[in-house]
Amino acid sequence: MIFSSLTFLFAYLPLTLAAYFLTSLRWRNLTLLLVSLFFYGWGEPVYITIMFLSILIDYTHGLLVEKYRDNDKKARWFVAQSVIFNLLLLGFFKYWDFLAANLSLIPGITVPQLGIPLPIGISFFTFQTMSYTIDVYRKDAPVQRNIISFGAFVTMFPQLIAGPIVKYKTVAEDLNHRVHSTENFALGARRFCVGLAKKVLLANSIGALWDAQLAAQGAGTLTAAGGWMGLLAFGFQIYFDFSGYSDMAIGLGQIFGFRFNENFDHPYLSTSVSEFWRRWHMSLTSWFREYLYIPLGGNRGGTVKTLRNILIVWFCTGFWHGASWNFILWGLYFAAWLILEKYVLRNVLDKTPAALKHLYTLIVVFVGWGIFAMEDLPVCGAYLAACFGGAPLWSALDGYTLRSYAITFGILIVASTTLGVRGWACLPEKAKKVLTPVLMALSLLICTAYLVDGSYNPFLYFRF
């Protein structure tokens, strides 16, 4: 079940809100746990057992870390056990077949592929539960002694299947003492409607263009202009798809009294690749920085170790996204650009006009989206070669396509900037109070009409 579905909007969500707010404060974590388990089990009931196992293992290990806090060696061992369990869980379900297929290429080695379906959101919730024992060990968060409350943290449906990745310490206080108010509910509902519109009206409107250009590559008719239009289409689709989903998650969290950190900050306004990754999927980059890059030594051990740490983190970032060589290549591609900016391009970029830096960043990022989107590396290579002169520059069909999508591209470009936010901030408060419910109702109505009429409603990060 995804947020941008009629089932969620008009069945699950209203019933969940009714059940939650009709429950007394004392039992709301239990209600949240039960409705979240139902949400997760809607598509894959068998994998609820994984959720129970994850809750039990990390809950008990948090208690053990707290119990042996005076014995650092034992405490560290229990943290390690928790991390190993979560990585093995993620590795078995997500990476077994990939590793088996590649190991079987070695003469004399045959490893069977199991073909087990990937549990939805496993990459997100394993990282979240890992953060718990680490935070308890570091004394960044108190141990959670109530298994129901801990279970509510692990399974919380607003961010369960696609983030943002919520560290335990971020919501530790809210789990026990969150505030419910009409204002929070209204602000959360508004944020949810914004995210729904971004997902349904913006991301879905441009996704078909990427599919068309990829099909053109397969048919051998792709041009350079068509290739770049496809990359732009995918880049806008994944941004509004994922940031829209994050907005919906943050809004739902606020309705239920939780404060989730922001996950996007207008990344396409960046003037360097480094800045882009401070603005894109911020919960993931923050997680890797805090729980991997800094423990490895960060940039404190000299140039060689810093290079090693960057490569390790970005290899893991790419591999986290999927069990395929293109994701590993995508991670290392960005590692290379980050290293170049840190050690080679820094002075050059400092002297470069902002417009050129912005253009350079967008080219690097959108080429990266090409690597990200195409798991078949020969297809990816041919597609990118077409973009850089390996195909005719232009065709009559490109002109028709550009005319057809010109208004859509214009809206997407404006929506990816801060223009809308700044324009809204300039309005008088009375105007905001009148317009907010009108725009929310209009957004919900148009999105519903789109969902009823259309069949194209993918969610790109659903498979991660």
* pLDDT tens per residue across span 253-266: 999 999 999 999 99
What does the pLDDT read at residue 455?
59
What does the pLDDT read at residue 381?
95
Burial 112-133 (b: 16+ CB within 10 A, else e): eeeeeebbbbbbbbbbbbbbbb
Asked if pLDDT for residue 464 goes beyond 80, the answer is no
What separation in angstroms does the CA of 346 have from each of 128, 306, 313, 341, 368? 34, 16, 21, 5, 20
What does the pLDDT read at residue 459?
59
Query: Which amino acid, one-letter code, is at 338?
Result: L
Global confidence as pTM: 0.93
Catalytic site positions: 321
Q: With cut-offs at 50, 70 and 90, classify the pLDDT of residue 330.
A: very high
| Cα 232 to Cα 213: distance, rounded to the nearest angstrom | 11
CA-CA-CA-CA dihedral for 348, 351, 356, 358, to nearest 10: 80
What does the pLDDT read at residue 278?
96
* pLDDT tens per residue across span 122-136: 888 899 889 999 999
CA-CA-CA-CA dihedral for 267, 271, 275, 280, to nearest 10: 10
Residue indicated by tokens 């369960």: 160
Could you please report the per-residue DSSP string of 31-90? HHHHHHHHHHHTT-GGGHHHHHHHHHHHHHHHHHHHHTTT-HHHHHHHHHHHHHHHHHHH
* pLDDT tens per residue across span 68-91: 988 889 999 999 999 999 999 999
| Cα 109 to Cα 105: distance, rounded to the nearest angstrom | 7
* pLDDT tens per residue across span 397-408: 999 999 999 999
* pLDDT tens per residue across span 259-307: 999 999 999 999 999 999 999 999 999 999 999 999 999 988 889 999 9
Asked if pLDDT for residue 52 goes beyond 60, the answer is yes
| Cα 177 to Cα 171: distance, rounded to the nearest angstrom | 10
Asked if pLDDT for residue 160 goes beyond 90, the answer is no
* pLDDT tens per residue across span 341-396: 999 998 899 899 999 999 999 999 999 999 999 999 999 999 999 999 888 999 99
In 10 A of CB 15, how many CB atoms? 12
Q: Report the mean per-residue pLDDT for the chain.
A: 92
| Cα 144 to Cα 353: distance, rounded to the nearest angstrom | 51
Q: What are the two backbone dihedrals, phi and then psi, of residue 139, each rounded to the nearest 5 degrees?
A: 65, 25
